[in-house]
Amino acid sequence: MPLKKRLAFAAGLAGVLVMAGLWMTTIRTPSSAPWQTSRGGFISLSISPAVGSAAVGLTDLLKQRRTKRDFTPGCWITFEEMNGLLWAAQGITSPDGFRTAPSAGALYPLELVIMSGNIGSLTPGLYRYHPGENRLSPGVAGDLRGPVAEAAYGQSWMAECAAVIVVCGVVDRVSRKYGSRGERYTLIEAGHAGQNIMLMAAALGLKCGIVGAFDDERLHHLLGLAPDERAITLFPIGR
């Protein structure tokens, strides 16, 4: 192979390797978050989550979807139901790694944090969802529904839910490619994931609220979010 072609090939290969390294970096879990194996290791989820009545037609689900704030005190949801909600939000749907919600450039800036209060056999505390490995990693233990309700400017109804799904975003994953529009694309994707959560909740016969009013600093501290991560929306779930 002529020297000129060899140099061009080497340059192209280097570019591919750089992009691959960047891709691996952009989808990692925020490094400073207190997760992984602090409370007994990872918790595996079902690849095909049981979703009960989810075979209901999309038109019917769209009609059924409502924002609910009247949870039954002490209500529970099952582990399988939470599995279905998480899969609906960010589950992997193809060997290529594509997910249930569209993402600009397939860069996937969203992170899901689950606040467990009454979820089947799942110990109360914080958990992070890992779509690629289809599992949860535990974080801080303890029931944080009350403190989070206070961080949401005293919305006491939130403390009656069974669990809260927090949709977070790492804008830098998208802005590296799309510049200042990265923030917009992250918020758009959070909307897609949130609608999926609410539609799956309707399919499962669960009540689902949505909260965007909260004290950022207090909530980020409670959740132990990394500096480059921000909470976008809270979805209290219950019956």
pLDDT above 90 coverage of the chain, percent: 74
pTM: 0.81
pLDDT, one tens digit per residue, over 132-148 is 998 999 999 999 999 99
Per-residue pLDDT, 70: 97
Measured CA to CA, the distance from residue 85 to residue 51 in angstroms comes to: 9
Nearest to 160 by CA among 171, 146, 181: 146
Q: Is the pLDDT score of 16 beyond 90?
A: no
Q: Is the pLDDT score of 89 beyond 70?
A: yes
Please list, in sequence order, all residues whose beta carbon lies within 8 angstroms of the beta carbon of residue 158, skipping any fewer than 6 positions away: 145, 148, 149, 152, 164, 209, 211, 234, 236
Per-residue pLDDT, 57: 87
CATH topology of domain 31-238: NADH Oxidase (3.40.109)
Which of the pair, 169 or 34, is modelled with greater confidence? 169
Q: Is the pLDDT score of 124 beyond 80?
A: yes
Note whether 100 and 200 are within 8 A (CB).
no
